[in-house]
Amino acid sequence: MRLGVDRLLDDTHAGARWRGKRLGMVTNDLALTSDLTRGREALVEAGWRFDVLFGPEHGLSGRAREGEHVGDIADAATGVPVRSLYGEHVRPAAEDVAPLDALLIDLPDVGSRFYTYIWTMSHVLEACADAGTPVVVLDRPNPIGGDVGRAEGPVLDESIASLVGRWPLPIRHGLTIGELARHWVRTRAIDLELDVVELQGWSRHETAIGRSDLTWMPPSPNIPTAATALLYPGTCLVEGVNVAEGRSTAVPFRVLAAPFIDGERYAARVNEERLPGVRAVPYGFTPLVRDHAGVPCEGVILHVTDAEVLRPVRTGVRLLSLLAEMHPGLLEERPGVPVPGESDASPLEKLFGVRGAFAQIVSGEWDDPARLAVPDWLDAAEPDLLYR
């Protein structure tokens, strides 16, 4: 497999014409080359020049905690100044991008609508369009697979705008980050010169679990494994309710637990559902952060048994509705905290993408997997697909 950054380095793509120009780059330490070198360092060593770098959520290091605002720094590896795009500002300033000949984007993604890196990219696309600065996206695989036929909704209600979702997109979308850039430039009418440096040697049906040469590098602190990424489109919904999702443990987003859950009964009920591609095992832990910090909790740990048939959003929805059935009145929606520039939607509404998400999920309205189907998505995305 050749990643987009690999193809710039070996001059096998027309994007190599930007070598020697005034450039910026949106990236982090987790965007590696195929030989496990940080992409920006490899480019600098090969003679590429960067005037400015931009870091998404978790910072240039990729290690800052979720939600932690990161300030501007100098990159210890290259000496290039770094502007944070997570904190006081979520899009580049005009004075940082207008002088550039082009801006490169090289970020790992996890294939879920509410992962913030793709929405940081959306702001970058708009800022560069305003400044007249071309954008070059160095493409990477979608680690949970690019079979658009496996996409799961719902599609985001655009009135629920935030940094976990700005524009209509299913939760599991099936696109690479380069294909998403193409989709948004086209469908949002972003007047921009866009160049995507395509992957070579990747097929849409492949996931990071099934491909041994796709070295897994955690794209952020709480996505430690490929199995976590596969479950994340469903288990991240737990962040919208009063249940711990395993942050501060070795298995975040593979576990969910709370003081009111009977882990043995819960695991048995989950397995009775025969949800495709997943099994639950009783599991307890004491969270160190967020919900129920310092309080012993019981729940389950999820194991991916078949990545091909797993439907993570269906799994996450049923996990929540089962809890509501088993523990009436104890499952509660987490209240929202106002965020400047974002909608007034609750955390669960922002994640699920639908107003009234909590009441609908706990009542079982979304238990039927047909409700999560997005039959129009393939046609909507088809013009932007780069791989077969």
Instruction: Clarify whether residues 194 and 69 are in a common domain.
Output: yes
| The pLDDT value given to residue 339 | 83
Tell me the CATH number at 130. Answer: 3.40.50.12170
Q: Which amino acid is at 130?
A: D
Instruction: Clarify whether residues 180 and 282 are in a common domain.
Output: no
In a domain? residue 150: no
| The pLDDT value given to residue 291 | 86
In a domain? residue 162: no
Nearest to 90 by CA among 61, 113, 114, 57: 57
In a domain? residue 216: no
| The pLDDT value given to residue 94 | 95
Helix, strand, coil % over all residues of the chain, rounded to 5? 30, 15, 55
Contact assessment for residue 256 and residue 299, using Cβ atoms and an 8 Å cutoff: yes
How far from each other are the two terminal CA atoms of the chain, in whole angstroms? 15
Phi and psi based region of residue 356 (left: phi greater than 0; alpha: psi -120 to 50; beta: remaining):
left
- Beta partners for 162? 165
- Beta partners for 241? 333
Is the bond preceding 154 in cis, omega lying within 30 degrees of 0?
yes
In a domain? residue 361: yes
In a domain? residue 169: no
Instruction: Clarify whether residues 77 and 193 are in a common domain.
Output: yes
Domain count, the chain: 2
Query: Per-block average pLDDT, block size 10, for the chain (388 residues)?
Result: 94 86 96 95 95 93 74 89 91 96 97 97 98 98 95 97 96 98 98 96 88 73 93 98 94 97 98 98 93 95 96 98 97 89 93 98 97 96 96
| The pLDDT value given to residue 323 | 98
Instruction: Clarify whether residues 254 and 366 are in a common domain.
Output: yes
Instruction: Clarify whether residues 239 and 341 are in a common domain.
Output: yes
Tell me the CATH number at 358. Answer: 3.90.1150.140
| The pLDDT value given to residue 198 | 96
Identify the H or E element spanning 302.
strand 297-304
Instruction: Clarify whether residues 281 and 182 are in a common domain.
Output: no
Instruction: Clarify whether residues 192 and 296 are in a common domain.
Output: no
| The pLDDT value given to residue 69 | 76
Instruction: Clarify whether residues 263 and 191 are in a common domain.
Output: no
Note down the domain range covering 34: 4-141+176-206
Instruction: Clarify whether residues 180 and 327 are in a common domain.
Output: no
135-138 and 81-84 as β-strands: parallel, antiparallel, unpaired? unpaired
